[in-house]
Amino acid sequence: MDFKIASIILWPKNSGKEIRKLDFKLDKINVITGDSQKGKSSIIPIIDYCLGSSKCSIPVGIIREKTEWFGIVINVEKKLILIARKEPGVKVKSDDAFYKEDVILDDLPRPYTETNIEFVKNRLNEIVGLPYLTLSNETDEKSKSKRPSFRDFSSFQFQPQHIIANPYTLFYKADTHANRERLKQVFPLVLGALNKETLYLRQQLKELEQQYQQKDKEFKEFKRTTERWLYNIKAYYIQAKEYGLIPSAPNDELGWSTSMYINYLSQVPKDIKYRASIIQSNATNEVVKKLNQLLNEELDTSRDLGNLRQKLYKMTRLFESEQLYQDSLNSKKERLQPANWLIQLLQPQNTCPFCGSENSKAYDEILRLYNHQEQLQTKSKNLKNSYSVLDREIVKIRSQMRSLENSLNYIRQQKKQLEDSSDEVRNRRQTEQQIFRFVGRLEKELDDYKFIYEDIDMQDELEELYNQMVELRKKVDPNKIESRLKVALARISDAIQRFAAQLGVENSDQSIILDIINLTLLRETGQRKDYLWEIGSGANWMGYHIATMLALHEYFIRELSWNPVSQFLVLDQPSQVYFPEKIVQNDNTIKNIPEYQQEDIIRVRKIFTALSTLLNVQNSSKKLQVIVIEHADEVTWLGEEHNIHVVARWRASNEALIPDNW
């Protein structure tokens, strides 16, 4: 992904001061050099913070005391995007962010809280083209956290001072269990063994599997229901004859097949409407008509009454909640009553009654409390207005309910009198209801039987889903993904060994393996296997760290047509293992040369030579941007000046990340 750092910008809390801006070349080794305590090691935390880190790791002190907004300008496919994030103060982080595309470097706007950092991270995910799909095959409530994120790739972009020569931690932010597990998940995607197409196909497979399971569950349930019914089919047949629903059907005989029973029973639902109309046409008794009318009225009235009960319940709950809220407001107003007295005693720029200093802080704070009390008073007044509205509505609903209850009692009294007056009518209605219930159950069971045994659509659909799953499983075969991953790791391991030799790592001729399970390096020596922490020597650890980063980025650029990892790498003080203080070059004369072995200087030069090698072998359209933060000066990159861009040199007492006039 052509995603590089164009500038780092700091906006002072004093808006009258000029901004601090560091500009970087996109295709060079950008060097920031200087003495200790100049702010060099804040570069990585600033970039990481602006790119959405979960906490602010920028060192506390003058940098955070003087800076209001931290920002970076990123160059994405030749488009400049400004991302800024507010200094968090006493908090762990600030979610306040500013995001603007198509900015001009010489005319950058001052940030303000325009959005939040969650929006920025989502936008970065879109920019690098990350699919909204999970990296794992599981489907659970944590699936969202298993989706790849732009934040996952910071491990391949930063090597801070405490990591670059660390024998136990090879990757940035891989020193916690959660981050280590996350990095293991994204490695197949980063190395191209798992691509976007495979993720899409795997998502389709998960959806098909869920659909198949649901369909299969429904099919089996219908089948179990129908099988249970088949055992009772004879009872259905006898009961239908008893009700007179199949008067012309013969008595069942031993050996009848299921289809024989179904042939007779399937006519019952078709004939029931005709038979019902015959019964109704003969029922000329006015009692029957009146009972039917009263029954419908009873159902309608009961339904309306139930709706009003539900509405009354909700209105009552709302009224009670507003009362509780009113009580809470009253309690707050009582606690704020002293503000009315204090606001009269204190004036702006008055003498503080406690410390005697001349300032307006006390007045401002009391004024804030007084204004808050006024707001509470307004809310309380609005609540009182709503009470009357709610109260009127509740009284109205209760009145309607009493009216409906009286109507319902009257209807039931009429119905009881009519039913008691005619046992014949009551018996007839009971028989009719039993018949209709029986026919309803029979019709449902016949439909289920037809759905399972006669309608083959569902079986065909299940078979089609199964065939689709088989085809997709071939395309997302884990063995193929594992094979591609092994090939990628083999190439990267060979490149690590090549860069390690260039950097002067001891025994670099021995095979080295990138272990993405333990997130470290493994060196094979005959039958012996040594992990990175067992190899020893800070120079070796530093060399292998840089070699690993260069090998990975070389693979990203050379081998992959699409990769979500940005094309920049930041190294913080790789020379620390040779001379942790400084080398100063002045008029081509190396000062204090006795303190350092010339061999150590040559080893540091090898770092810049290796970085230049990666820059020189790439196509012009695909070059890695490198940012190196160093104590050492030009003496360490002699011979590679054409690939070096010195961003800043902070040697004098008034030179640092934070300008002296801030």
Whether 82 and 156 share a structural domain = yes
Contacts 24+ apart (CB under 8 A), 135-141: 135/185, 135/186, 135/188, 135/189, 135/194, 135/199, 136/185, 137/202, 137/206, 139/206, 139/210
Distance CA 34, CA 582 (A): 8
Phi, psi of 108 (to 5 degrees): -85, 135
Spatial CB neighbours of 124, under 8 Å, sequence gap ≥ 6: 51, 52, 150
Burial string for 173-202 (b: 16+ CB within 10 Å, else e) reads: bbeeeebbebbebbbbbbbbbbbeebbebb
Last residue of a domain, one of 476, 506, 540: 476
Whether 300 and 417 share a structural domain = yes
pLDDT at 587 over 50: no
More confident site: 577 or 227: 577
Q: Which CATH number do you get for residue 353?
A: 1.10.287
Amino acid 22: pLDDT: 97
Residues 412 and 362 sit within 8 Å (Cβ to Cβ) = no
451 belongs to a structural domain: yes
Whether 29 and 72 share a structural domain = yes
pLDDT at 546 over 60: yes
More confident site: 135 or 496: 496
Amino acid 225: pLDDT: 64
Whether 25 and 117 share a structural domain = yes
Amino acid 480: pLDDT: 86
pLDDT at 141 over 50: no
pLDDT at 503 over 80: yes
Alpha-carbon Rg for the chain, nearest whole angstrom, is 40
Whether 49 and 76 share a structural domain = yes
Whether 374 and 352 share a structural domain = yes
Whether 265 and 294 share a structural domain = no
Distance CA 531, CA 513 (A): 9
Amino acid 419: pLDDT: 67
Last residue of a domain, one of 476, 494, 510: 476
Residues 373 and 340 sit within 8 Å (Cβ to Cβ) = yes
Amino acid 144: pLDDT: 47
Percent of the chain with pLDDT over 70: 80
Q: Which domain holds residue 240?
A: 195-279+430-476
Amino acid 453: pLDDT: 61
442 belongs to a structural domain: yes
pLDDT band at 233 (very low <50, low <70, confident <90, very high): confident
Whether 139 and 244 share a structural domain = no
Percent of the chain with pLDDT over 90: 36
- Please give the tally of structural domains in the chain: 3
Whether 230 and 290 share a structural domain = no
pLDDT band at 279 (very low <50, low <70, confident <90, very high): very low
Mean pLDDT of 621-638: 87
Whether 600 and 638 share a structural domain = yes
Whether 601 and 537 share a structural domain = yes
Number of helices (H) and strands (E), helices first, in the chain?
17, 16
The number of residues making up the chain comes to 662
Q: Which CATH number do you get for residue 148?
A: 3.40.50.300
254 belongs to a structural domain: yes
Amino acid at 493: S
Last residue of a domain, one of 382, 398, 421: 421
396 belongs to a structural domain: yes
pLDDT one-digit tens code per residue, 49-58: 999 999 999 9
Count the neighbouring beta carbons within 10 Å of the beta carbon of residue 463: 11
Whether 21 and 105 share a structural domain = yes
Spatial CB neighbours of 235, under 8 Å, sequence gap ≥ 6: none
